[in-house]
């Protein structure tokens, strides 16, 4: 009996948290990874109900490719690409409002609270027309479409190979290299990182750097070296931002909705993500293309990205995630929320708003 025919596999992919499953693919991680002791399957799905990227079972591993997260990164990327050539486009407002909508959706998944609905209704009502502009431009601009598709593909592959890096923890060939990179970073880190965090940082950095190297090896032949590193830096910071938004979601939920819900250790987790991002970005900045590593094209006509630091600072600005867009917008959202307090019609609102912002599956 094949793994796909087992009761355990059928139960795993029948998990409602996986949402809509678009496909399940066998994945052979060799020769990049040795000693993978179970079959690996990639599940392509769309779900705002799971934060899991990888689920290990006794006889197999599921790596989750969630288009919900890829769509969020894609929307940010399209806005950033537009802003790089259009000074009038307000990228920070665009990205900050998308982050606020993301957190509102996640709050609603934790519990269908009035706070979640109000934040969602306020943000959608104020910014939905602003979100539409970059996607309409992409529909008419093949250059913009190609650049955003490249970033989406890099994001998907980075997420996939990060999880495979964890699955392949028994293959220690890559570890000495990671240890040297992280120890060099720790030597310069200020303030010093407590010992309890170093082990977690080493484990995550091993998967992060493995994923970056897999992406560089896979895409170098088709990219100019500067553009590939630029796009991968965006990917690293976008993946960091998603996980920081999850932390803020849990913190907001605990403080405002359910004080009995677990509250994340914000200092520890934010610190870990900050260090991971610095290690990834530093590694990309220092990466050397050539015969001893990989060879990339000398130039690349793909669109450039704008400065990334202001963009991701805005996305991960915790204060703006719950602040009113305006007094009138917040008041109107509260009025609208009255109509959803006794029924389940809010799911239809989320579905109707979401459809245009889902990453194309073509």
Q: How confident is the model at residue 155 (pLDDT cuts 50, 70, 90)?
A: very high
What's residue 1's pLDDT? 83
Q: Is the pLDDT confidence value at 310 over 60? A: yes
What average pLDDT does this structure show over 24-49? 87
> CA–CA separation, 222 vs 219, rounded Å?
6
For residue 244 the two structure tokens come to: 């920081």
Q: Is the pLDDT confidence value at 192 over 80? A: no
Q: How confident is the model at residue 63 (pLDDT cuts 50, 70, 90)?
A: very high
Query: Any idea what DSSP says for residue 182?
Result: H
What distances in angstroms separate CA 216 from CA 224, 235, 258, one per listed residue?
11, 12, 43
What's residue 10's pLDDT? 96
Query: How many residues belong to the chain?
Result: 362
Q: Is the pLDDT confidence value at 356 over 80? A: no
> Which sign, positive or negative, has the C-alpha torsion 205, 210, 216, 219?
negative
Contact 3, 9 (CB under 8 A): yes
Residue among 142, 163, 135 nearest 359 (CA): 135
Alpha helix (H) ranges present in 191-315?
195-219, 225-256, 266-286, 308-315
The answer for residues whose C-beta is within 8 angstroms of residue 285's C-beta and 6 or more apart is 229, 233
For residue 210 the two structure tokens come to: 């493995």
Peptide bond into 308 cis (omega under 30): no
Residue with the two structure tokens 């509102």: 104
Q: How confident is the model at residue 193 (pLDDT cuts 50, 70, 90)?
A: confident
Contact 337, 114 (CB under 8 A): yes
What's residue 190's pLDDT? 67
Q: Give the mean pLDDT of the chain.
A: 91
């Amino acid at each position: 009996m094949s793994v796909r025919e087992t009761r355990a596999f059928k139960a795993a992919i029948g998990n409602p948290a996986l949402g809509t499953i678009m496909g399940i693919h066998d994945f052979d991680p060799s020769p990049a990874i040795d000693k993978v002791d179970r079959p690996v399957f990639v599940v392509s799905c769309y779900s705002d109900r799971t934060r899991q990227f990888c689920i290990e079972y006794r006889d197999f591993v599921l790596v989750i490719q969630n288009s919900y997260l890829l769509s969020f990164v894609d929307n940010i990327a399209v806005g950033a690409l537009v802003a790089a050539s259009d000074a009038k486009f307000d990228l920070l407002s665009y990205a900050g409002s998308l982050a606020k909508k993301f957190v509102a959706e996640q709050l609603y998944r934790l519990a269908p609270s009035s706070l979640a609905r109000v934040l969602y209704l306020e943000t959608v009502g104020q910014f939905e027309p602003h979100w539409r502009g970059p996607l309409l431009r992409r529909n008419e601009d093949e250059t913009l479409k190609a650049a955003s598709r490249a970033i989406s593909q890099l994001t998907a592959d980075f997420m996939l190979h990060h999880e495979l890096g964890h699955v392949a923890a028994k293959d220690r060939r890559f570890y000495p290299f990671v240890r040297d990179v992280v120890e060099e970073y720790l030597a310069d880190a200020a303030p010093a990182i407590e010992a309890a965090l170093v082990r977690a940082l080493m484990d995550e950095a091993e998967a992060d750097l493995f994923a970056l190297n897999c992406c560089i090896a896979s895409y170098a032949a088709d990219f100019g070296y500067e553009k590939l590193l630029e796009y991968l830096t965006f990917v690293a910071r976008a993946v960091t931002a998603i996980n920081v938004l999850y932390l803020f979601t849990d913190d907001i939920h605990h403080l405002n909705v359910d004080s009995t819900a677990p509250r994340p250790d914000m200092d520890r987790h934010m610190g870990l993500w900050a260090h991971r991002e610095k290690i990834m970005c530093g590694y990309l900045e220092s990466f050397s293309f050539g015969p001893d590593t990989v060879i990339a094209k000398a130039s690349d006509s793909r669109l450039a990205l704008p400065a990334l630091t202001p963009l991701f600072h805005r996305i991960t600005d915790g204060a703006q995630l719950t602040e009113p867009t305006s007094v009138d917008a917040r008041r109107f959202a509260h009025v609208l929320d009255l109509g959803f307090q006794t029924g389940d019609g809010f799911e239809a609102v989320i579905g109707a708003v979401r459809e245009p912002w889902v990453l194309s599956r073509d």
